[in-house]
Structure 1
Amino acid sequence: MTPSKAWSAPRWTTVVVVLLATLCCLFVPALGVKHENFKKCDQSGFCKRNRQFADKAAATTSWTSPYALDPTSLSFSDGILSAVVLKTVKDGQEKVRLPLKVTFLESGVARVTLDEEKRQKGDIVLRHDSKARKERYNEAGAWALVGGLETSKGAALSDKVEEGFTKVFYGKGGKHQAIIRHAPFEIDFQRDGETHVKFNQRGLLNIEHWRQKVEKPQEEKKEGEEAKEEEKKEEAQGEDESTWWEESFGGNTDSKPRGPEAVALDITFPGYEHVFGIPEHATRLSLKTTRGGDGNYKEPYRLYNADVFEYELDSPMTLYGAIPFMQAHRKGSTVGVFWLNAAETWIDVVKPKSIPNPLSLGVLRHTDTQTHWISESGLLDVFVFLGPTPQDLTRQYGELTGFTAMPQSFAIAYHQCRWNYVTDEDVKDVDRRFDKFKIPYDVIWLDIEYTQEKKYFTWDPLTFVNPTKMHKQLDKSERKLVAIIDPHIKNTDNYPVIDELKKKDLAVKNKEGNLYEGWCWPGSSMWIDCFNPAAINWWKGLFKYDSFKGTAPNTFIWNDMNEPSVFNGPETTMPKDNLHFGNWEHRDVHNLYGLTFHNATYQALLERKKGTIRRPFALTRAFYAGSQRIGAMWTGDNLAEWSHLEASIPMILNQGISGFPFAGADVGGFFGNPSKELLTRWYQAGIYYPFFRGHAHIDTRRREPYLAGAPYTEIITQALRLRYQLLPAWYTAFHEAATTGAPIVRPNFYVHPDDEKGFAVDDQLYIGSYGLLAKPVTKEGQSSVDVYLADDQPYYDYFDYTVYQGHGHHNIPAPLEKIPLLMQGGHIIPRRDRPRRSSGLMKYDPFTLVVVLDKDGNAQGTLYLDDGETFEYEQGAYIHRRFSFDGKRNSLSSSNLVDRVTVKGENYLKTMAKVRVEKVIIVGAPKSWRNKKEVVVMEEGKKESARKKTVEMEWFEGGKGRADWAVVRDPKVGVGRGWRIDFD
């Protein structure tokens, strides 16, 4: 939520303060984002300085980077190269020592860190009242990284000695090479002898080193001298010191006790035209340039988690989350970098053009992508990935920051939400009406109004009279409830939570070291500091059933406003000179705050009750690298407009390739009232979001699917049933993400990495590894869509088996009742076809296998199953099968993908013993089967007499551009056992 509604507050004076501070957002119609509330690069001192630094370097033909590696400091041991980089300052009179470490990891990833040599006490003059740490923040990795840091045993210095260079071979078979130039300091990262990533090629490396603050005496100016003074400043040579020690914006002043400490570096991807990633921005998948050119951005991409009211589209402006992971892609190669820094960060992207060869007749082509990364504080800490495939990058990044948490099965079904369901009777009525209209759903959500006076861990006694009874009604249909809990704690009397927060000293502090007080929904509030381990332990206790009374095992949590959003703070967030645990300034950790709060909630849900532990579900709005280990995210407060529906597709695709695939957007749009056509089309698109939730603002009209009326309710219901029908495929895709880092929904370049024409395609998506290609309708009045096919395999319409084949665009009918969905030949898709009220009621339903033959008559697919609730899958309690159709033998088989058999695994197999495959559909069935009436089925684990049997088969002719198909009904084979069906 974003400020748009009044809140309760303890005194009239404080109400006036809050109203004045947030007037731009309160009681006004939707007017769009308030740009004046958020900085541009020129208004952010460190960004402006480094952009000017870049301009100076570009304008000087003789520019040389002032950074050089001291060769006498070099050492190499156990996969780690250490040295000192010297920064020349003050016309060569001073050298700043910057310890360098290049770590070569067993995975083939390289890590480069550049710090600043620790100064002795007294070397730096800080504000006398500052409690901030003097050294650079170096703990981002403790939150973001969980593995993949084993150093390479095979990394080795080159035997060839070359003056001015140091070379290291690393990676599998020594195919990677880091070439480190000493003066000026540069690094080239090569794969198979070709450079793919270059550090400091343009000489924009800039570590703003520690320096003493010199208090200049104030001179009395005579009349008329002010203008002359300004002229002198403009003419002065050297660095702009105006924002070194203090900076103001929007009426707020940021004290900077440590002075300027930005880190910046240019990173070039030679030969790469397309770069992706660095979410969260409302942009296309392939990132635009930010410095010049028609249709491109004038501002850098900004990463600074913020509560942006009614965010605009096609913009590099910051949003709610930050993942500083960028990929560059071209035919045959994908590489990338991960900029491990949690401070405010800006990224320029430039794509210079050059003539590729003398015979090109003047035709210009992009050959390089040049990026410029600028962070306000912290270390320079960068991971380099050399691929060569998109799958390599997502796996290696996941090994470092963690793979997606395996959710409970209900979490990937449909969620029904609005701000707010106003009473417990309202919740129960919505639940009953979904059943009345036979519309499936799994989760209903509560926003802030369920609390008593915006006090979290309470229920409003007048409106939520009996939350236990409400939970019990939901539980009868295996449904869940999600309640919102935000990081701001109401600062009021007679509220034990705030009393304990203060007593235990667990809140964020201001620059003087006192408890920080700001304003949010409750009025005066304080913010829990989850960088403090004691705060996490305290937070865990608040969620226990005897503490948060009225909750139950089917209660889960939504973390909103955790950027953190502060209504009266600079840029609607917390002052940068606030202090966190360990006396780190907020500027150092800002982009991590949301992750730490989300993590505390996840830990709390794990410990609610002793005994069998259920997997937590916790949604977050703010995030950082590593948040994927904890739960889901959504794209925040979008608008009920066609353009926002269209933008949701590339935004969610970008989340997926950036390591956080459990992503969604508010179906229907948060602000405003969608037309019935828009609402219907949004549901048809939303069924392809990994996180699928309908949500709306409190001032919008109610829009539950059953209210739309004919034919819209029926069409939306059919879309929802399609999502539920394909839940086995979705759950298997989640398992793949949780074990390999692969996106759940995938852009064209990820599936077809050699198809150059499709690299920028971002309005369609593939679901998991199933060849399911969806193209949502995102334009008003549209009755057909152009789907881009990147290969020459046959693609079949999911519903009527119409065949589309051939590289390029194909027009597909899409009247309102039609969902454009194709099946790529070569895949086997598992589904559950029986309509149920919730996913929990489908647990023991039989399966249908849709075998979609490729042009050679083959197909493959997998199915992953576990109990959908606990962590027992980690002890082997799961089913993982591979299905294969061999076109030469005309046989379909099921084989085991489980590596080991455990007691838990055997027990789980017993619970699933009666779950069977009830139907097999062969799409693209050979015409030679026309007269075939039977198939032979053989199953493992049965008595000899029952192992082989004959089952009926029916063949159907497609006609009119449709494929032929065949159906085997009830082959009587168990989903957890091996079997084979012979069609010849």
Structure 2
Amino acid sequence: MRKNSMLFLALLFVSFQLAVAQTSSLVQPDVAIFYPKDFKAYKTLPSLAVTQDVSQEKPLPANWAVKPQFLQIEGKNAVQFTFPEHVDLYGTGEVLGDLRRNGTDVTLWNTDNYEYGKFEGKQLYQAHPWVLGVRKDGSSFGILADHSWRQQIVLDDKVTFISEGPSFRVLLIEKDSPQEVMKALGELTGTMAMPPLWALGYQQSRYSYYPDTSVKELADEFRARKIPADVIWMDIDYMDGFRVFTFDPEGFPDPKGLNDYLHDKDFKSVYMIDPGVKQDSLYSVYQQGTAGDHWVQTAGGKEFNGEVWPGQVAFPDYTQPRTQKWWASLYTDFMNLGIDGVWNDMNEPAVFDGPGGSMPDSNLHRGGGDLPMDKHLRYHNVYGLLMVRSSREGIMAVNPEKRPFVLSRANFLGGQRYAATWTGDNSATWDNLKMSIPMSINLSLSGQPFNGPDIGGFTKSPSPEVFANWIALGAYYPFSRNHTSNETEAQEPWAFGEEIEQVSRTAINRRYRLMPYLYTLFQEASQTGMPIMRPTFFADITDTSLRGEQQSFLLGEDLLITPQWAEDLKMPQGDWQEISLEENTDKYQASVKLRDGAIIPVGPVIQSTVDYSTSELTLFVNLDAEGKASGSLYDDAGEGYGYQSGDYAMLNFEANTVDGEVEVHIEQTEGSRTMNRKFKIALVQDGAVTYSEWQSGDTIRLN
């Protein structure tokens, strides 16, 4: 009887996990691709994540370390990876939870998740079928499940991807470090484009600033109070009845005049555009969409309608090339009003009265070009990506001389090519403040370097204490925007009284002083795919005690950012020296520490990036044990594409100590952009800073 029971259990296990044969090949020396034997390309390809040609077929080396097993689990196609030793796991995109992802699972199904209240926050606005693994010795791998169907990632002692779609291929990157894995991911999925400089500035938003006079007053307040800022955002209330590409005739009667006013005050404007188009026979956008047959259809072939902010809406089918072109064309008149950037929201897509808050899985996307006709279950996770791709193309067609800026709530792995992102509808709580760090880091470790949460929290009203701590940390997010709901108290930097206003001013001043360093990091991200916001363990990938540290983070390679509320920190070894970027300080400001052996360029306090210049820079220097340090600076016009034809400068800094004198040698190694520059050395030693006088030339000395 016992023997029969064991046989039954074995058969049951086989029925749940049925192995599928596979083929494999080497795409490049450290990247392999694996296909199940029953793979049918038209069911999952073309890839909307992978941009690199992976058609090369070289034999997989016999010693290749990590190989998948293709399975069926409860009738679903799956792939599973097992490891002979413990591996720390990261990535999986936009998720709640600890930085280290071991012991968790994530559902990849883009979901409008207010306050992260559904599915324990494990199913949010974006889908990244990607896992980064780091072994004890620092050697690392990355796993990319290359399909867009709804799927689940289960991370226990194995890594398992379980799909609700057909069989799919998997790419695996094997490198000596997680940094090299991130660069390889950038090569496979593309890197973000260089953004306009203004997009790195501090940004102020609310749902909503209404009417336009309140927007002007807001701009005036920032300038009068000398709190630096670059962007003011327009949420949906600027529209006429929430109809996209329109303006409320009472609240926003002269949008061009408003944008001109903001430009005169050195502000940029970003306006929201949702995908849902109001079902209104008198509305030109709906008329055009219907005449052009641009809408997503039901399974029965009729126009699908669902409820969003305007009421019943139709949804563009971005899988159709003609729809992509039509949607892009809608931005022509819109951007010609002087609008600087676009915010694509609700593009999971969110449908208030739809199943699970979206449209039915059975809805029909008709495809075209490379994309085949298929149901929504296949295209749901890439709906936002396809939208922002079309939006970006339309913006670039209107303003070919400017770099576009698009922010998207929904996206997919590889979507960093088209848009920046934020982490959706968070809340003004201590928990949400603290979890913003691992959330943003794991987004960064999933190929999306330009991201951040709503500073201060979107829902609920923060206490002065929460807001002060959040703005002091938020100055160092790659995307730094204060945004709140229409149901909350005011959340501008001065809304909490004089003390918190000064805290905010100090924090934002520090961000603007770091702009030369930040801009250099963005250029690196655009070239290599390296994150801007990095986990602390990147400082020493062999120090396993750092693997779970999620209160601090690295900004680039050289700065360690630690909020004041952090407790029981795990610090990387080395002589990390705290630097002061402002004379003002308080109990809220995050600690900024400079790595030994590093030089970073820092500018003066400015009120917006319109005033940005690299003509006078302070070089913060922290010498290593050998009396040496190095760093770099990237500089270009901050706008346009002149840098692509050589109008940029890459400067390298090398510090040496000779007979007690510190010399910093400056060399322009790339680009034709030249400027007269003055430098000052700020030598950081034993908690103190020694400054040189301003000097010009190729060598700066500090006696």
Same fold (TM over 0.5): yes
Aligned partner (choices 380, 383, 388) of residue 598 of structure 1: 388
Query: Given that residues 282 and 312 in structure 1 are in contact (C-alpha distance below 8 angstroms), is that contact kept between their aligned partners in structure 2?
Result: no
Q: Do the aligned partners of residues 700 and 597 (structure 1) sit closer, same or farther apart at CA in structure 2, a change above 3 Å counting? A: same
Consecutive unaligned residues in structure 2, runs of 5 or more: 1-7, 368-372
User: Distance between the aligned counterparts of 1:58 and 1:868, measured in 2?
Assistant: 64
Quote the residue 1:848 is aligned against.
618
Quote the residue 2:370 is aligned against.
none
Query: Given that residues 477 and 837 in structure 1 are in contact (C-alpha distance below 8 angstroms), is that contact kept between their aligned partners in structure 2?
Result: no
Quote the residue 1:327 is aligned against.
132
Instruction: Describe the SS at the equivalent of 1:698.
Output: coil
Quote the residue 1:569 is aligned against.
354
1:716-760 per-position Cα deviation (integer Å, ceiling 9, x unaligned): 100000000001111111111111111101102223110011111
Name the amino acid aligned to 1:620: S
Q: Do the aligned partners of residues 386 and 591 (structure 1) sit closer, same or farther apart at CA in structure 2, a change above 3 Å counting? A: same
Name the amino acid aligned to 1:114: P
User: Distance between the aligned counterparts of 1:881 and 1:325, measured in 2?
Assistant: 35
1:118-157 per-position Cα deviation (integer Å, ceiling 9, x unaligned): 7xxxxxxxxxxxxxxxx9622351x2222253626xx44x
1:343-382 per-position Cα deviation (integer Å, ceiling 9, x unaligned): 11112222xxxxxxxxxxxxxxxxxx31221111133210
Instruction: Describe the SS at the equivalent of 1:919.
Output: strand
Q: Do the aligned partners of residues 694 and 965 (structure 1) sit closer, same or farther apart at CA in structure 2, a change above 3 Å counting? A: closer
Quote the residue 1:588 is aligned against.
378
Deviation of 1:707 after TM superposition, in Å, equals 2.1
Equivalence map 1:755-794=2 (5 Å): 755-769=543-557, 771-778=558-565, 785-791=567-573, 793-794=574-575
Name the amino acid aligned to 2:246: T
Q: Does 1:466 align with 2:254?
A: yes
User: Distance between the aligned counterparts of 1:117 and 1:855, measured in 2?
Assistant: 56
User: Distance between the aligned counterparts of 1:56 and 1:439, measured in 2?
Assistant: 67
Query: Given that residues 409 and 869 in structure 1 are in contact (C-alpha distance below 8 angstroms), is that contact kept between their aligned partners in structure 2?
Result: yes
Deviation of 1:785 after TM superposition, in Å, equals 4.8
Quote the residue 2:664 is aligned against.
892
Query: Which of 1 and 2 has higher RCO (CA within 8 Å, sep 6+)?
Result: 2
1:808-850 per-position Cα deviation (integer Å, ceiling 9, x unaligned): xxxxxx96243222112111110112x2221121236521111
Q: Does 1:455 align with 2:278?
A: no
Quote the residue 2:93 is aligned against.
279
Q: Does 1:607 align with 2:397?
A: yes
User: Distance between the aligned counterparts of 1:512 and 1:312, measured in 2?
Assistant: 33
Q: Do the aligned partners of residues 972 and 540 (structure 1) sit closer, same or farther apart at CA in structure 2, a change above 3 Å counting? A: same
Q: Do the aligned partners of residues 963 and 669 (structure 1) sit closer, same or farther apart at CA in structure 2, a change above 3 Å counting? A: closer
Deviation of 1:302 after TM superposition, in Å, equals 0.9
Deviation of 1:67 after TM superposition, in Å, equals 4.2
User: Distance between the aligned counterparts of 2:250 and 2:16, measured in 1?
Assistant: 70
Instruction: Describe the SS at the equivalent of 2:242.
Output: coil
Q: Does 1:268 align with 2:73?
A: no
Q: Does 1:968 align with 2:687?
A: no
Deviation of 1:712 after TM superposition, in Å, equals 0.9
Deviation of 1:480 after TM superposition, in Å, equals 0.5
Deviation of 1:598 after TM superposition, in Å, equals 1.0
Q: How many residues align?
A: 686
User: Distance between the aligned counterparts of 1:405 and 1:725, measured in 2?
Assistant: 23
1:406-464 per-position Cα deviation (integer Å, ceiling 9, x unaligned): 11111111110000001111110000011111001000000110000111111101011
Equivalence map 1:75-86=2 (5 Å): 85=21
Q: Do the aligned partners of residues 505 and 474 (structure 1) sit closer, same or farther apart at CA in structure 2, a change above 3 Å counting? A: same
User: Distance between the aligned counterparts of 2:652 and 2:559, measured in 1?
Assistant: 17
Deviation of 1:892 after TM superposition, in Å, equals 1.1
Deviation of 1:64 after TM superposition, in Å, equals 11
Q: Do the aligned partners of residues 983 and 304 (structure 1) sit closer, same or farther apart at CA in structure 2, a change above 3 Å counting? A: same
Q: Do the aligned partners of residues 588 and 800 (structure 1) sit closer, same or farther apart at CA in structure 2, a change above 3 Å counting? A: closer
Deviation of 1:66 after TM superposition, in Å, equals 4.7
Quote the residue 2:34 is aligned against.
112
User: Distance between the aligned counterparts of 1:740 and 1:653, measured in 2?
Assistant: 17
Quote the residue 1:878 is aligned against.
648
User: Distance between the aligned counterparts of 1:58 and 1:605, measured in 2?
Assistant: 57
Aligned partner (choices 667, 681, 686) of residue 469 of structure 2: 681
User: Distance between the aligned counterparts of 2:342 and 2:275, measured in 1?
Assistant: 12
Q: Do the aligned partners of residues 866 and 56 (structure 1) sit closer, same or farther apart at CA in structure 2, a change above 3 Å counting? A: farther
User: Distance between the aligned counterparts of 2:237 and 2:118, measured in 1?
Assistant: 30
User: Distance between the aligned counterparts of 1:327 and 1:549, measured in 2?
Assistant: 39
Name the amino acid aligned to 1:421: Y
Q: Do the aligned partners of residues 676 and 983 (structure 1) sit closer, same or farther apart at CA in structure 2, a change above 3 Å counting? A: closer
Q: Do the aligned partners of residues 57 and 715 (structure 1) sit closer, same or farther apart at CA in structure 2, a change above 3 Å counting? A: farther
User: Distance between the aligned counterparts of 1:443 and 1:647, measured in 2?
Assistant: 25
User: Distance between the aligned counterparts of 1:314 and 1:657, measured in 2?
Assistant: 22
Q: Do the aligned partners of residues 466 and 966 (structure 1) sit closer, same or farther apart at CA in structure 2, a change above 3 Å counting? A: same
Instruction: Describe the SS at the equivalent of 1:868.
Output: coil
Aligned partner (choices 495, 498, 502) of residue 290 of structure 2: 502
Quote the residue 1:216 is aligned against.
none
Quote the residue 1:551 is aligned against.
337
1:543-598 per-position Cα deviation (integer Å, ceiling 9, x unaligned): 11xx227721x421001000000111111011100011232111012111110001
Aligned partner (choices 42, 50, 75) of residue 145 of structure 1: 50
User: Distance between the aligned counterparts of 1:283 and 1:968, measured in 2?
Assistant: 46
Query: Given that residues 140 and 175 in structure 2 are in contact (C-alpha distance below 8 angstroms), is that contact kept between their aligned partners in structure 1?
Result: yes
User: Distance between the aligned counterparts of 2:9 and 2:300, measured in 1?
Assistant: 38
Deviation of 1:883 after TM superposition, in Å, equals 0.3
Tell me whether 432-441 or 888-897 shows the greater mean CA deviation: 888-897
TM-score between the two structures when normalised by the length of structure 1 = 0.67
Name the amino acid aligned to 1:548: F
Query: Given that residues 39 and 167 in structure 2 are in contact (C-alpha distance below 8 angstroms), is that contact kept between their aligned partners in structure 1?
Result: no
TM-score between the two structures when normalised by the length of structure 2 = 0.93
Query: Given that residues 282 and 313 in structure 1 are in contact (C-alpha distance below 8 angstroms), is that contact kept between their aligned partners in structure 2?
Result: no
Aligned partner (choices 143, 152, 177) of residue 346 of structure 1: 152
Q: Do the aligned partners of residues 750 and 66 (structure 1) sit closer, same or farther apart at CA in structure 2, a change above 3 Å counting? A: same
- Of all paired residues, the percent bearing the same amino acid is 31
Quote the residue 1:183 is aligned against.
none
Name the amino acid aligned to 2:381: N
Quote the residue 2:206 is aligned against.
418
Larger-Rg structure:
1
Deviation of 1:972 after TM superposition, in Å, equals 2.4
Instruction: Describe the SS at the equivalent of 1:411.
Output: helix
Q: Do the aligned partners of residues 964 and 821 (structure 1) sit closer, same or farther apart at CA in structure 2, a change above 3 Å counting? A: closer
Instruction: Describe the SS at the equivalent of 1:144.
Output: coil
Deviation of 1:58 after TM superposition, in Å, equals 10
Query: Given that residues 439 and 720 in structure 1 are in contact (C-alpha distance below 8 angstroms), is that contact kept between their aligned partners in structure 2?
Result: yes
Q: Does 1:317 align with 2:105?
A: no
User: Distance between the aligned counterparts of 1:314 and 1:525, measured in 2?
Assistant: 27
Q: Do the aligned partners of residues 507 and 337 (structure 1) sit closer, same or farther apart at CA in structure 2, a change above 3 Å counting? A: same
Tell me whether 613-622 or 744-753 shows the greater mean CA deviation: 744-753
Quote the residue 2:678 is aligned against.
917
Equivalence map 1:415-814=2 (5 Å): 415-544=203-332, 547-548=333-334, 551-552=337-338, 554-582=339-367, 583-609=373-399, 612-769=400-557, 771-778=558-565, 785-791=567-573, 793-799=574-580
Consecutive unaligned residues in structure 1, runs of 5 or more: 1-54, 69-84, 86-99, 119-134, 157-167, 170-176, 178-189, 208-238, 240-259, 291-299, 351-368, 779-783, 802-813, 899-904, 925-961, 974-978
Quote the residue 1:43 is aligned against.
none
User: Distance between the aligned counterparts of 1:394 and 1:58, measured in 2?
Assistant: 41
Q: Do the aligned partners of residues 465 and 382 (structure 1) sit closer, same or farther apart at CA in structure 2, a change above 3 Å counting? A: same
Instruction: Describe the SS at the equivalent of 1:705.
Output: coil
Equivalence map 1:243-392=2 (5 Å): 262-290=76-104, 300-312=105-117, 315=120, 317-332=122-137, 333-350=139-156, 369-392=157-180
Query: Given that residues 302 and 316 in structure 1 are in contact (C-alpha distance below 8 angstroms), is that contact kept between their aligned partners in structure 2?
Result: no
Instruction: Describe the SS at the equivalent of 1:706.
Output: coil
Deviation of 1:870 after TM superposition, in Å, equals 0.9
Quote the residue 2:3 is aligned against.
none
Q: Does 1:199 align with 2:68?
A: yes
Quote the residue 1:827 is aligned against.
598
Instruction: Describe the SS at the equivalent of 1:697.
Output: coil
User: Distance between the aligned counterparts of 1:404 and 1:331, measured in 2?
Assistant: 30
